[in-house]
Structure 1
Amino acid sequence: MDNNSWLILRDSDPAYKLPPDLAANDALGARDCGWVEQMRPFIRHFSPPAGMVIDPFNGFGTTLVAASLEGRRGIGVELEPARAAIAEERLRRLDARNQTVLAGDLVEVAASLPQADLVLTNAPYFGCRWQSAHDSDGQLYSASNYAGFLDMFYRVLKSLKPMLREGGYLIVMAENLRIGTHFVPMAWDLGRMLAEHFNLVDERILLYERPTAPLPALDAGSNRAHEYALIARNDRKPVDLQDSLRCLRELAADFPEVLVYGGFARWLAGQKAERLPSDVDLLVPERVDLLCQLVRWFEARGFQVTRWGQPFGWQAAGTALKGAHYFRAQRLRASGELCIFDVCFDDALLQYDEALRAAAQVDGLNVLPSARPPHSLRPESSTVVSSTQ
């Protein structure tokens, strides 16, 4: 792969296409099956020889076919049992070695997967009119509205974080859509979500040779002959620690109840760490009035405030934060300084009152630099997931 920002895909090798008899077994006629040629350059460039590639939306196993051809191990997770069966048969016919298809919900399966060097997938499209006898709350194709689709995708992204090794890449192929007469910026919305959990580092534009036709005057519609490869890495963004500290002191002066914990707290306390903090973690009481005031405070200082990657204003904070446990405030100055604050108000493992009692005063700040108090730990449930090989 070179440094061009685009990749032209001219044709799909018939030897690796999904066989027509297998495509006929799919509810959508496999019209959403991607090209092996689309995946191979990314596997070759972004994963080591014999590395592990995981596709969380396996579909017909296209990524696994590409992984086999590039000498990588592969695991594909597919929610739809019929598609998982088609993928397995396709891989069998191609004698694809070291490839595994798991039938199930990625969110449930994730904990049982080995760490990946590369997570590579085509994002399911919103509005494809999915019809299947297999009903599941996790089926993105079944989303009846766009907000629900984005919420489900966010759920998947969150589960991918621990299964991707540090420094590994997550690449999502996504396209902006037309639903009826509406333009839907799906690729850009998914990019914002990626940036919340990973370090979004670049993109490639994938170009397909498709027939062209004259466009009537004032008509904006295109032949949709491109999509985006959104490239993220599982590492920490370099934030400006001194600018973050200045902002934190201003915040604590106006909101003395905020408590600093996590990596930034350990840095403040002078504890040695393998890496510098990548954000400021704050714990605050779960009060709607306080959360609205905090959001307004950050907005007034040039921060963008998001919940699950979606921006919202302080006027909507009371509603937007229902069902969430934190919000993110991020500011990038024109001169390059980046500050990120994660404001948590519902930590499953740490109660605010307990944490405040255990906190120390560091330069006028409530700081909890130690590990979580043992008595605040709550048991986590475990899930046993079945798979097919």
Structure 2
Amino acid sequence: MASRSWMVMEGQDPRYRLPDDLQQRDPFAARDIGWVEQMRPFIREFAAPGQRVIDPFAGLATTLLAAGLEDCSALGFELNPLRVELARERLARHRLLNMELRCSELSEACGEEIASCDLALTSVPYFAAVAAMGQHSHAAGAGDQLYDSAHYQAHLDHLGLLFHRLRYWLKPDAYCIVMAENLRIGASAIPLAWDLAAILADLYQRGDERLLVYPARGLMQAPQMHSDRSHEYALVFRNTRPASIRRSDAWPWLQALWSQGLNFALHGSAARLWADADADAAVADVDLLFDPSQRDIDRAAAWLREHGFALRSWGRPMALPLPLGSLSGRYAVLAERIERTGLRLRFDLGFELEGRDVASALSKAHMHSGLRLIGLEHSFERLA
């Protein structure tokens, strides 16, 4: 694949396009199914033969078919049982019987499946797709799916949860490439691709987006503002974060927070950084753990926001007071400030721990070089 930022899709190879009979049997009439041609270049560039590709929204197995054609194995997740049946039939016609397709939603990897995949490649379900597809929605059983989210924020929150889970399937430094486009629903412009990019940027390291241009879909609806929407974005991310924050970068901010009389401690990689005598050691995030009472974390968040830090959780801007009750399972709120040098100062304002009581953990903190540290004997590196 060329390193250009755009790619023109001329058409589908009849050998690999979705067969008409499968399209007719699909509850969504395959209106949301992408092309094998859009997936193969990314597999060639970001994976190698013999490696494993994962698609959390497998649909009718477009990504799995593309992976097989590039001599990769693949794992897909699809909620709709009829689609799973059709996808397996499609793969069987190409004699790709070693592809794994599960009739379920993506779950957190466990056991041997942790870090078992070399590339994530998918096209996301579109908000309000069921309404657009009319009579097909009931047959699709879409009530359990992202296609039928009650409102846009619920759609984004569910996407955030699934891409959070996806990280546990991916090997360190593996790429996560997501096809998405901005939508027009009635008179409303819905920036799905841009909002999804913000979510992914809080979970992965951002790369460059690619623009995929398709044959014209039809005449423009209104030349003043609207186009034929014949393009989509390939959002390129990576399952890593650059360790660029050094003690000298974080110290002024931590000292200022400590001077406010806030009850917090450093944990995880930040605690190890503070205990390390190596001045060149760095971390990707500075993990802070606050007392369970909301007062201190809100005060810290307010002070950081006043000093140029944006507050987010999985790409969603956070207002004060922080809605901690609705953020259970996310462990922290991200406070990020981007310096003119490009340095990203990222403070994870933690309010819960996995499998451990916060108050108990804080009670065992000890002072080191002017700050309280906890968890050096454990790993608490769940990302905000």
Q: 1:110 to 1:5 in 2, by over 3 A?
A: farther
> 2 CA distance for matches of 1:138 and 1:116?
26
Question: Could you give the per-residue CA deviations for residues 262-283 of structure 1, whole angstroms, max 9, x where no partner exists?
Answer: 01101111289xx842111111
Alignment partner of 1:293 out of 287, 293, 299: 299
| Match in the other structure for 1:329 | 335
Specify the code of the residue in structure 2 equivalent to 1:166: P
Q: Partner residue of 2:119? A: 118
Mapped to 2, the partners of 1:270 and 1:50 lie a distance apart of: 40
1:174–1:228 CA contact under 8 A, matched in 2: yes
Following superposition, the deviation at residue 86 of structure 1 comes to: 0.5
**1:163 maps to what in 2?**
169
**Number of corresponding residues:** 370
The equivalent of 1:227 in structure 2 is 232
RMSD: 2.3
The structural deviation recorded for 1:212 is 5.5
1:105 deviates by: 1.4
- Within 5 Å, give how 1:44-193 maps onto structure 2: 44-107=44-107, 113=113, 115-129=116-130, 131-132=137-138, 139-193=145-199
CA distance in 1, matches of 2:112, 2:104: 12
Shift of 1:104: 0.8
CA distance in 2, matches of 1:214, 1:79: 35
Deviation at 1:138, TM superposition (A): 5.2
Cα distance between partner residues in 1 of 2:53 and 2:252: 42
State the secondary structure of the residue aligned to 1:76. Answer: strand
Q: Which amino acid aligns with 1:74?
A: A
1:304 aligns with 2:310: yes
Instruction: Give the gaps of 5 or more residues in structure 2.
Output: 132-136
C-alpha distance 319-356 of structure 1, shift in aligned 2 (>3 A): closer
1:300 deviates by 0.9
Percent of aligned pairs with the same residue?
A: 35
Which residue is equivalent to 1:17?
17
Contact 1:205 1:229 in 2 (8 A): yes
- Is residue 29 of structure 2 the alignment partner of residue 29 of structure 1? yes
> How far apart, CA to CA, are the structure 2 residues paired with 1:67 and 1:96?
10
- More displaced 10-residue stretch of structure 1: 148-157 or 349-358: 349-358
- Aligned equivalents of 1:23 and 1:286: distance in 2? 53
Matched, 1:343 2:349: yes
Identify the range of structure 1 (235-244 vs 32-41) with the bigger mean alpha-carbon deviation.
235-244
Give the corresponding residue for 2:134: none
Post-superposition shift, 1:213?
Answer: 3.6
**Structure 1 segments unaligned to the other structure (5+ residues):** 377-389
Structure 1 residues 56 and 110, CA gap change in structure 2 (3 angstroms): farther
Residues 203, 111 of structure 1: alpha-carbon distance in 2 compared, 3 angstrom cutoff: farther
TM-score, scaled to structure 1:
0.89
Could you tell me which residue of structure 2 aligns to residue 380 of structure 1?
A: none
SS of the residue 2:209 aligns to: strand
**How big is the shift at 1:135?**
5.1
Q: Matched residue of 1:24: which SS?
A: helix
Q: Is the 8 A contact 1:303 1:329 kept in 2?
A: yes
Task: Rate the CA distance shift 1:160–1:99 in 2: closer, same or farther, 3 A.
Answer: same
| One-letter amino acid of the counterpart of residue 226, structure 1 | H
Aligned-partner Cα distance in 2 for 1:358–1:287: 17
CA distance in 2, matches of 1:167, 1:147: 29
Q: Helix, strand or coil for the counterpart of 1:259?
A: strand
- CA contact 2:108–2:169 (8 Å) conserved in 1: no
The 2-side partners of 1:228 and 1:355 are apart by 43
**1:199 correspondence with 2:205:** yes
